[in-house]
């Protein structure tokens, strides 16, 4: 992990570091004062590329960051932080975004658990509507933009009640010729990541991957329990407890929409965010196709990385041996 910057350091003669507000494997996120605009604070997303890469590949990665940052800077939506600047310093790349005050929804879940209660369904659906708006906007760009890391901690609730989808760390831009570029390679947070995304950049992801992640996030919000990982569900589909068995106060409609979004096979999910939002909030209550109507997903369909395929089969073998030993006792 890169050595983090210290409070008081100034980057580009403009951004003075206040503190770290997030950390990841390839860098940190900082709260910074904008010295050019008095009173404005911003968030600096730091990216340090793998310095073991050959010089030509390292330059390609830096050029790619510049291209992608330019695309993100053009986004303008009330439920997304505005990207205002990007630059290089000390061998690292920085993306400058609006700093979003407020609590993230992971903290809201923890507060509800401590009080032995659940978040109100009407509030969760309101947040879901806002995030669906943001995703619809991203997915409608040319080329479409995927977020790929939707989760409660990446959803910030502002004091005015607006929800912002933050952290563009794994954003994926779908080029028309099927070539994809990403700001940071990665797979997202496992609890909310569909199987097809386990292949990293080589995974066959599309807008339905974000729909899975949003469905998994909503599952956590209405139940106070994180969903099982997709690879666990691949081995044991019954591990996913229907939301109403945990929180009987939510509507059958909400449960059906969440489970529809969380199907392992992309073809079994809503085709686009508009259909998912309509199922969750609108007048259309779809009849979800039974799994028998569609082919079961195979590892080849969903996970393109040989390492991840081996990991899944190894996990299956461990589970089988554990069950066998239990039965022998």
Active-site amino acid positions? 149
Integer Cα distance of 287 and 283 in angstroms: 13
Integer Cα distance of 260 and 221 in angstroms: 16
Integer Cα distance of 120 and 113 in angstroms: 13
| DSSP for 109-164, written as a single string | HHHHHHTT----HHHHHHHHHHHHHHHHHHHTSSS-EE-----GGGEEE-TTS-EE
Give, in order, the Cα–Cα distances in Å from 159 to each of 122, 129, 276: 18, 18, 27
Integer Cα distance of 29 and 167 in angstroms: 9
Does residue 282 have a cis peptide bond before it, meaning omega lies within 30 degrees of 0? no
Integer Cα distance of 231 and 196 in angstroms: 10
């Amino acid at each position: 992990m890169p050595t983090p910057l210290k409070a008081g350091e100034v980057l580009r003669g403009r951004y003075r570091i206040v503190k770290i507000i997030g950390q990841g494997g390839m860098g940190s996120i900082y709260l910074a004062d904008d010295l050019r605009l008095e009173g404005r604070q911003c968030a600096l997303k730091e990216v340090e590329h793998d310095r073991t890469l050959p010089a030509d590949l390292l330059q390609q990665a830096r050029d790619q960051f510049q291209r992608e940052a330019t695309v993100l800077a053009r986004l303008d939506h009330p439920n997304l932080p505005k990207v205002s600047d990007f630059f290089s310093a000390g061998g690292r790349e920085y993306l400058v975004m609006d700093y979003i005050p407020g609590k993230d929804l992971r903290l809201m879940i923890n507060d509800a658990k401590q009080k032995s209660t659940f978040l109100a369904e009407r509030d969760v659906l309101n947040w879901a509507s806002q995030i669906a708006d943001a995703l619809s906007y991203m997915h409608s760009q040319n080329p479409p933009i995927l977020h790929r890391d939707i989760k409660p901690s990446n959803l910030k609730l502002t004091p005015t009640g607006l929800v912002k989808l933050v952290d563009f760390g794994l954003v994926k831009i779908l080029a028309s010729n099927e070539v994809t570029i990403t700001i940071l390679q990665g797979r997202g947070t496992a609890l909310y990541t569909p199987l097809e995304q386990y292949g990293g950049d080589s995974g066959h992801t599309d807008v339905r991957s974000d729909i899975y992640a949003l469905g998994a996030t909503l599952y956590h919000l209405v139940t106070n329990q994180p969903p099982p990982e997709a690879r666990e569900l691949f081995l044991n589909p019954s591990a996913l407890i229907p939301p109403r068995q945990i929180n009987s106060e939510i509507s059958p409609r909400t449960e059906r929409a969440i489970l529809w979004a969380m199907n392992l096979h992309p073809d079994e999910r809503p085709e686009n965010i508009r259909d998912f939002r309509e199922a969750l909030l609108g007048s259309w209550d779809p009849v979800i196709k039974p799994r028998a109507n569609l082919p079961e997903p195979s590892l080849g369909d969903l996970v393109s990385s040989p390492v991840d395929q081996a990991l899944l089969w190894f996990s299956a073998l461990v589970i089988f041996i554990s069950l066998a030993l239990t039965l022998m006792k």
